[in-house]
Amino acid sequence: MKVRKLLIVIAVAVSLVFLAGQVMAAPTTINWWHAMKGARGKVVDNMIKAFNDSQPDYVVVGTYKGNYDETINAGVAAYRAKKQPHILQCFEVGTQTMMLSGAIYPVYKLMKDEGYNIDWKGYLQPVLSYYMNANGDLMSMPFNSSTPVMYYNVDLFKKAGIPMLDKTKPVTWDELGEITAKLVKSGVPGGMVTGWQSWTQVENYSAIHNIAFASKANGYEGLDCELLINNPTVVKHIAMLKDWFDDKRFLYGGQKFQGPKAEFIAQNAGVYIDSISGIAKLKKAVKDFKWDVAPMPVESWMKKPQNSIIGGASLWVFEGHDKKDYKGVAAFMKHLGRQDMQIYWHKETGYFPITLAAYEQLMKDGYYKEQPYQEVGIKELTRRIPTKISRGLRLGYFIQIRNIINEELELVWNDTKTPQEAMDNAVKRSNKQLREFEKIYK
């Protein structure tokens, strides 16, 4: 009798616990590791909050995991330890590694599986194409995308008697040579500076002039690709920059830690080539002169310059989570692509809105009338349909390769190597990396 009573009590208790579990089912947590700090981090937090407030089932937790390198590393380490987040922000040079990793759930598939029918045509194609596989399927969701543009110091230009630049039609490199010469003559310590030299002066230079950066359509069509940046056009461009460097028309500001930007802000250089996403920040930092934005320069022989290519990062979804989690991930991806989110993101950070609809809405609202700077990058990026060569780069160990290019360029600037030697060596060293990478996936 007693035993039975006890059993009943236990049964009731168990079922109570069970019911409670049913009723108070906690929302599923979706982890997102990103590399956005400071003002951008805040914008990310707000976008997350908007999602979390909009529905009860999922809670997205965004975590800053350091800069891009550290974030991808954290992702790798976590995956190996089977503790991967659902979403990982990974910079564009890591695309190949992520794509081949076998650790990801391709975004196009995720969205299809979860029943979202997304018209990818409504997205900015030069952005999407960077993250598509050979079949044109989108592997990761573009998140923050930018492209290089040319900032210039209006006051210094006036002082040197240089007319202002057009916002759509690029100047030629020859013209920029004259401009920087005038700047130097008028007493500016250096003509131009550039951030991320490999990205702006080699990768984008090649894309804009429709020159292959690597064989096999820049690596899109096979791991057995080789670098081609020791071609005469690129070498000539580097040689030209070296000449400029020697007569101070080009000032080298280093790779990291504010170098180039600080030179521009300090008015040590009148022209500054860097990502379009720098606009918001320059606005805040520059108080004592006026500046403006123009598209990247183009060689005079290039009558129809191609689109520039993007930099930035995309969001990768890791495999290995519960089915119900992915429902939330997909919903969140959808949320990030929403028009209002894209407009907010663009306005606050300067990164591109990735949907055409958001872009058109912004145009309709007259945003670009108020903020003419912002549109320069979008126009430069979308001025032509991307070719196989200008759609992007798909290289293994690209992080090392970019590092190699930066190193070799530095050796040109400091007179250790001629441009041809440096580019030959960069190709040689990079090809070695590419072969190593290829072996892994054989």
Residues lying near another protein in the complex (CB under 8 A) are found at 31, 33, 37-38, 41, 63-67, 69-70, 72-74, 76-83, 85, 94, 97, 100-103, 195-196, 252-259, 261-263, 265-266, 268, 274-275, 277-278, 281, 284-285, 287, 397, 399-400, 403, 406-408, 410-411, 413-414, 416, 436, 439-441
Backbone φ and ψ of 249, nearest 5°? -75, -20
The distance of closest approach from Cβ of residue 299 to another protein in the complex, given in angstroms and rounded to an integer, is 26
Sheet holding 87-91, edge to edge: 58-64, 28-34, 87-91, 311-317, 141-146
If the CB atoms of residues 114 and 348 are measured against another protein, the closer one turns out to be 348
If the CB atoms of residues 169 and 256 are measured against another protein, the closer one turns out to be 256
Helices (H), 393-418: 398-413
If the CB atoms of residues 211 and 315 are measured against another protein, the closer one turns out to be 315
Sheet holding 190-194, edge to edge: 190-194, 269-275, 148-153, 291-294
If the CB atoms of residues 234 and 426 are measured against another protein, the closer one turns out to be 426
Backbone φ and ψ of 164, nearest 5°? -65, 160
If the CB atoms of residues 72 and 207 are measured against another protein, the closer one turns out to be 72
Computed on alpha carbons and rounded to an integer, the radius of gyration of the chain in Å comes to 25
The distance of closest approach from Cβ of residue 303 to another protein in the complex, given in angstroms and rounded to an integer, is 32
Q: 403: how many CB neighbours lie within 10 A of its CB?
A: 17
If the CB atoms of residues 158 and 281 are measured against another protein, the closer one turns out to be 281
Beta strands, E only, 65-137:
87-91
Q: Which amino acid is present at 297?
A: P
Backbone φ and ψ of 123, nearest 5°? -105, 160
The distance of closest approach from Cβ of residue 100 to another protein in the complex, given in angstroms and rounded to an integer, is 7
If the CB atoms of residues 68 and 123 are measured against another protein, the closer one turns out to be 68
The distance of closest approach from Cβ of residue 413 to another protein in the complex, given in angstroms and rounded to an integer, is 6
Residue 63: partners with Cβ closer than 8 Å, 6 or more residues away: 31, 32, 33, 34, 85
Could you tell me whether strands 190-194 and 148-153 are parallel, antiparallel, or unpaired per DSSP bridges? unpaired
Q: 221: how many CB neighbours lie within 10 A of its CB?
A: 13
The distance of closest approach from Cβ of residue 232 to another protein in the complex, given in angstroms and rounded to an integer, is 24
H or E stretch covering 240: helix 232-246
The distance of closest approach from Cβ of residue 88 to another protein in the complex, given in angstroms and rounded to an integer, is 11
The distance of closest approach from Cβ of residue 227 to another protein in the complex, given in angstroms and rounded to an integer, is 16
The distance of closest approach from Cβ of residue 248 to another protein in the complex, given in angstroms and rounded to an integer, is 12
The distance of closest approach from Cβ of residue 407 to another protein in the complex, given in angstroms and rounded to an integer, is 5
If the CB atoms of residues 270 and 337 are measured against another protein, the closer one turns out to be 270
Q: How distant is the alpha carbon of residue 134 from its chain centre?
A: 20
If the CB atoms of residues 118 and 411 are measured against another protein, the closer one turns out to be 411
Could you tell me whether strands 269-275 and 190-194 are parallel, antiparallel, or unpaired per DSSP bridges? parallel
